[in-house]
Structure 1
Amino acid sequence: MRRSLTVALFAAGLLVPGGAQALCDVTYRVQPGDTLASIAETHYEDAEQWTLIYYANQATLAGQVQSLVSGRDIYIPCPAENPEPDATPLRQSGAELTLLTAGGDVPFADQDWPGGGMVTELVNAALELSPSPVPYEIVWEPDRSQHLGPLLGQKRYDMGFPWIKPDCSLTPEDDLCTAFHFSDALMDLPVMLFRRADSDFRYTEDADILGKRLCRPAGRFTHDLDRADRRWLVEGKISLNQPGSPEECFALLMAGAVDAVSLDVFEGAAKIVAMGLRGQVVPVEQPLSREALYAVISKTHWRGTTHLYRLNAGLAKLHESGRYGEIVQRHLALFWEALK
């Protein structure tokens, strides 16, 4: 489904994001009752583009999305107008440093998306800004089940991305916990709840979830549901349906078999559009949790710490220079424009 979204974007010629006349590149003082969605509706005439404001103000927001602090100033960025990815002078076939990703994951990593996706472009830029930069190659292997074991674990490739870090205190036996080191976070990822538009389901605090029926596809992480301050699954406080795909989750939602579907903000929005559910399914404004995407490298890799240091140092420079925000804003604008 995600690959068809990419193709549709370019087939339709949607290369210049909308909202060029938006009230943006300004500082806004939060008013009582404001949410990021309501602010995005005011400034962009599109509530869905709240992620543009979210990623531009992560340090200021300190995790707040639903109940913003009244009187606090936040920056309203303009949607990026240049869709062209950064140049990648160090990216070469046959380079000694090899990075492994799966693709097909818009807007993060996809061969048909500008720059190979948002996370791919962030990794490219970080490696180019790293101390003593070296040539590298990105290899696309669509069978993600092969990444950790034979490909990265046996060091056929040096580093893999993007991966969500498990809660290793809950699942110390997880392959990622036992066998891999993690980079610094490549990007933050809001995990949302999606409800039927005609339902009265709400989520403003964790107490609202107790007794509810959630759906998240099989094979996805569940550590956010069982963290120390929740323990929703192990103590039976909620029921979790885990069918084989997001599409099945949304079908259950429309049939009234679950109260909400839980996916990351980008996958959920893309599936709603692909399934023709816009207007019938809406996101709950408060994220259920926040995860992060990382690069991983085997703990037995003889140059693992060197590679991680290089990537992490480059990421720090990327943030300091402001180039990180430019890359993220450009991909966000393209993604939300594609959904139109």
Structure 2
Amino acid sequence: MYKASTSMALAVAAAAGFTTITAGQAQAQEACSTYTVVRGDTLSGIASAADVRGGFRVLFDANTNVLDSPNLLEVGQVLTIPCADGSLPTGAAPVVAASTAPAPVTSAPARPLRIATASDYAPFTDENLPGGGMITRMVDRSMQLGNADQEYDIIFINDWGSHLETLLPTGAVDMAFPWFRPDCSRVENLGPASAYRCTEFNHSDPFYEIIVDFYTLNGSAYANAQSTNDLFGARICRPEAWFVFDLEAAQLVEPNITYVTTVAQNGCFQLLKDGEVDIVTYDALPAEEDIRSAGMEDAVATLEPLRGTVSSHIFVSKNNAFANEALPIINAGLEQLRLSGEWFNIVRESIQETVEN
């Protein structure tokens, strides 16, 4: 079931076999087919040559069974090129390869699950989007597929900060999404806020690999940056309450950089426009929409060599026994969603809606 409430107090690497694009390459791709990666290819170049609607993001999403990152292509990899309508070619491999589907979880539910998300994160979650957005639709279908007998409510609590700070720890809600998990095997290298995501919460399997880009003004001192070290000395903006563990891993922390945050997501681009920051970095999909909304398409450069990915999960408090017992429902349903191809259809439809609007 799906229910909405009102607001409440709320990663191209240069290594053996990995290459960068050169002029004249990536010209033989066709939509609704497969393509074998050759030396010099990049995902952006392949997507552009094949006229993939939604660009490299859609091409990456169609090949997550092959690709670990949108920046890492290996010579000889066979990629599936989506059709003109965004669907996959007939007979294409499912997004996640497996021989059998998982058995649904059938344990008797004790009570309805309370699952929280929030708005203003298009195309991933927003009350005004069809089905509540891309990841909301995935969560909804995963619950249905994982255990049809488990009742649940998906509620929008639009104070993002309250999700991890109070709502999950106190048991006011059982699960919250979409939240990003650091590398919890190296929690000692994380700052306190990032480490908190590892020490206090358990996590579902990943729902989506979020592509994180870095942006600057055309002609700026950072426009030709090839590594994160080239950003040392910059003023970097990322919206408030967003993760910073990827910046920590790249040593993009004080005093190497000046970190600037703002309440409004699109406020970073206003600061960039006004010359108050040098770099803006957050999720590529909403960031590109914010660039369009600000009329800055011709002014902003994307620093593709710095592109990265992080994974989006459902979080549950380690102290909530009921939520932890129910987490396998989500994981079982999510695997069925991927095996059936429905996962990619949700992604395709959501990105197309964003591009069209």
What per-residue deviation string (whole Å, max 9, x for no partner) do you get for residues 147-194 of structure 1? 234433222322111112245511456553343221111111011011
Contact 1:158–1:297, Cα closer than 8 Å, also in 2: yes
1:107-122 to 2 correspondence within 5 Å? 107-122=123-138
Contact 2:35–2:79, Cα closer than 8 Å, also in 1: yes
The counterpart of 2:83, out of the listed 62, 78, 81, is 78
CA distance in 1 between counterparts of 2:315 and 2:231 reads 33
Partner of 1:85: none
Q: SS at the partner of 1:59? A: coil
Deviates more, 1:26-35 or 1:249-258: 249-258
Aligned positions, number = 300
Partner of 1:142: 158
Partner of 1:30: 37
Partner of 2:66: 60
Confirm whether residue 269 of structure 1 aligns to residue 288 of structure 2: yes
CA distance in 2 between counterparts of 1:45 and 1:131 reads 36
Confirm whether residue 40 of structure 1 aligns to residue 47 of structure 2: yes
The residue identity in structure 2 corresponding to 1:271 is D
The counterpart of 2:223, out of the listed 201, 205, 226, is 201
Structure 1 pair 120/131, CA: closer, same or farther in 2 (3 Å)? same
Structure 1 pair 196/112, CA: closer, same or farther in 2 (3 Å)? same
Partner of 1:90: none
Structure 1 pair 336/214, CA: closer, same or farther in 2 (3 Å)? same
Structure 1 pair 260/145, CA: closer, same or farther in 2 (3 Å)? closer
The residue identity in structure 2 corresponding to 1:154 is T
The residue identity in structure 2 corresponding to 1:329 is R
The counterpart of 1:312, out of the listed 326, 331, 338, is 331
Partner of 1:225: 247
CA distance in 1 between counterparts of 2:123 and 2:208 reads 12
CA distance in 1 between counterparts of 2:119 and 2:252 reads 32
Report how far residue 132 of structure 1 moved: 5.8
Confirm whether residue 162 of structure 1 aligns to residue 167 of structure 2: no
Structure 1 pair 50/155, CA: closer, same or farther in 2 (3 Å)? same
Q: SS at the partner of 2:321? A: coil
What per-residue deviation string (whole Å, max 9, x for no partner) do you get for residues 283-330 of structure 1? 222454321111111222231222111111111122222221121122
Contact 1:318–1:324, Cα closer than 8 Å, also in 2: yes
Provide TM-score, normalisation by structure 2: 0.75
Contact 2:161–2:241, Cα closer than 8 Å, also in 1: no
The residue identity in structure 2 corresponding to 1:208 is D
Confirm whether residue 187 of structure 1 aligns to residue 192 of structure 2: no
Q: SS at the partner of 1:24? A: coil
CA distance in 1 between counterparts of 2:237 and 2:199 reads 28
CA distance in 2 between counterparts of 1:287 and 1:264 reads 13
CA distance in 2 between counterparts of 1:307 and 1:296 reads 12
The residue identity in structure 1 corresponding to 2:66 is T
Report how far residue 108 of structure 1 moved: 0.8
Structure 1 pair 302/124, CA: closer, same or farther in 2 (3 Å)? same
Structure 1 pair 286/326, CA: closer, same or farther in 2 (3 Å)? farther
Report how far residue 280 of structure 1 moved: 1.4
What per-residue deviation string (whole Å, max 9, x for no partner) do you get for residues 65-98 of structure 1? 2x6334432111136569xxxxxxxxxxxx7222
CA distance in 2 between counterparts of 1:45 and 1:96 reads 41
The percentage of counterpart residues that share the same residue type is: 30
Contact 1:198–1:280, Cα closer than 8 Å, also in 2: no
Structure 1 pair 75/81, CA: closer, same or farther in 2 (3 Å)? closer
Structure 1 pair 41/293, CA: closer, same or farther in 2 (3 Å)? same
Structure 1 pair 50/322, CA: closer, same or farther in 2 (3 Å)? same
Partner of 1:238: 257
Partner of 2:57: 51
Structure 1 pair 249/172, CA: closer, same or farther in 2 (3 Å)? closer
CA distance in 1 between counterparts of 2:203 and 2:52 reads 38
Structure 1 pair 149/250, CA: closer, same or farther in 2 (3 Å)? closer
CA distance in 1 between counterparts of 2:112 and 2:337 reads 23
The residue identity in structure 2 corresponding to 1:147 is H
CA distance in 2 between counterparts of 1:98 and 1:80 reads 36
Report how far residue 30 of structure 1 moved: 2.6
Contact 2:223–2:301, Cα closer than 8 Å, also in 1: no
Partner of 2:236: 214
Q: SS at the partner of 2:198? A: helix
CA distance in 2 between counterparts of 1:33 and 1:327 reads 31
Report how far residue 112 of structure 1 moved: 1.4
